[in-house]
Amino acid sequence: MRFVLVLIGLYLAFGTALAADPPIEDDLEFSDAPLSDQVEYPSWFKLSFLNLPEDLEEAVDAGKKGLIVYFGQHHCAYCKALMVRGFGREDIAMYTQRNFDVVALDIWSDRMVTDMQHFILPEKELAVREKTNFTPSLIFYDASGREVLRLRGYYPPYKLLAALEYVADGHYRGATFHDYLDRGASAMSFLEGGLNESELFTEGPAILQRDPVYGERPLAVFFEQPLCHACDLLHTGPLSDPEIRRLLGRMDVAQLNMSGSGPVVIPTGERLTAQQWARQMGLFHAPTVIFFDEWGVEILRIDSVVQLYRMRSVLEYVLSEDYLFEPNFQRWRELNSRAGEEARESAD
């Protein structure tokens, strides 16, 4: 009987954790709560000595087009989604292996890495320097060692494959990634229909100029498109959550069609169309959310797939103004988590 009770106790203590990681079966919808199990890399990722110039040289000698440096963390649901839904797809895995070597770095690791400029520093410091606010982050280097594309966060498989082709086929030499994506889809189709409606967004002309005297609230600008499934999921998912709506209620919130021709007074006071502003900021993913302070300075942007947990954390980060002291979002999250644990231990 005592043995049975012990088993029951163990199940209650650990059973929830063991069952906490549901399978990721959709390209855009999944729980982004921290994982209980560690993310597993594909077996074909390069076993590197963390000397990136040497890794690139070996890739080029093997006839490949360049090197991809992956920044991740062990319990990141978005990293798992990339491994399962992205690199886990046979066509993407084969195309990647044919054209690139992939080196995986851990944003919390103290292991020393030699970067492309031959500086030696810990992985975690390189991650901060490269502003990997969201994991996974991928940096693409061509055969000469030049950075030619950066993906911050998780993207659906079709966009990952497009990024791989954009670099492998050399399209980056003559076009931005935004322009390359436009070739695969009619940009005019995005002008048809309307955006998702929500009372969260300010009505009327898009006058977003910031004034630190009168505009003391941070600004969140949602760049969306009509006929955008990811935008629909943002509205039916995170933006329908009461806590997310409460946090956004403490900001000025605007919605723009990133392919639209409507006039916008941007935070600096300049007058542009929404499309011009989106291009000026290098946007290629809808939805993208950009946060500005009361001076019109960008704080942070989410330009990849975002679920409830990440959206809530970003809103708390912006509203706390902790970015003034800790500009790296991931490091802030870690410090915030430790402070919470210490507070709970003190209370106990």
Report how far residue 151's alpha carbon sits from residue 28's, in angstroms, rounded to the nearest whole number. 16
| 146/240 same-domain check | no
Q: Are residues 222 and 110 in the same domain?
A: no
State the pTM of this model. 0.89
Q: Are both 124 and 212 inside the same structural domain? A: no
Q: Among 33, 6, 31, 37, which residue's Cα sits nearest to residue 19?
A: 37
> Which pLDDT value is given to residue 221?
97
Q: Residue 156: is the preceding peptide bond cis (ω within 30°)? A: no
CA distance 41 to 38: 10
Question: What is the reported pLDDT for 340?
Answer: 54
Instruction: Give how many domains the chain has, as a whole number.
Output: 2
Lowest-confidence region among 14-18, 214-218, 340-344: 14-18
Mean pLDDT calculated for residue range 19-38: 86
Query: From CA 258, how far away is CA 277, in angstroms rounded?
Result: 8
- Domain-located, residue 210: yes
The predicted pLDDT at position 212 comes to 65
Tell whether 31 is covered by a domain. Answer: no
- Tokens representing 8 are 């029951």
Do 283 and 164 reside in the same domain of the chain? no
Q: Are residues 255 and 172 in the same domain?
A: no
Task: Single out the residue in 183, 214, 246 at which a domain terminates.
Answer: 183
157 with 212, same domain: the answer is: no
- State percent of the chain over pLDDT 90: 79
Residue pair 53/114 in contact (Cβ under 8 Å)? The answer is yes
More confident site: 267 or 187:
267
Q: Is residue 13 part of a domain?
A: no
Q: Could you identify the residue written with the tokens 């995170």?
A: 238
For a pLDDT cut of 70, what percent of the chain falls above it?
87
Residues 58 and 179 in one domain: yes
Q: Are 161 and 249 in the same domain?
A: no
Residues 173 and 210 in one domain: no
Give the confidence band of 38 by pLDDT, cuts at 50, 70, 90: very high
- On the question of pLDDT at 332 being above 60, the answer is yes
Q: Is residue 142 part of a domain?
A: yes
Q: Is residue 101 part of a domain?
A: yes
Q: Is the pLDDT of residue 18 over 80?
A: no
The 10s digit of each residue's pLDDT in 68-83 is 999 999 999 999 999 9
Asked whether residue 47 carries a pLDDT value surpassing 80, the answer given is yes
pLDDT number for residue 216:
75
Which one has a higher pLDDT value, 308 or 3? Answer: 308
Residues 162, 64 within the same domain: yes
Per-residue pLDDT at 5 exceeds 50: no
Q: Are residues 58 and 177 in the same domain?
A: yes
Nearest Cα residue to 281 out of 273, 188, 196, 133: 273
Which range of residues forms the domain containing residue 99?
52-183
Is residue 238 pLDDT above 90, yes or no?
A: yes
Residue 265 is assigned to a structural domain of this protein? yes
In a domain, 39, yes or no: no
Judgement on whether residues 58 and 118 belong to the same structural domain of the protein: yes
In a domain, 310, yes or no: yes
Q: What is the pLDDT of residues 181-221, one digit of tens each?
A: 988 665 444 445 689 999 999 887 889 998 766 557 999 99
**CATH code for position 175:** 3.40.30.10
Mean pLDDT of the chain: 89
| Cα–Cα distance, 287 to 291 (Å, whole number) | 13
**What is the DSSP-derived secondary structure letter of residue 86?**
I
Query: Average pLDDT, stretch 150-175?
Result: 97
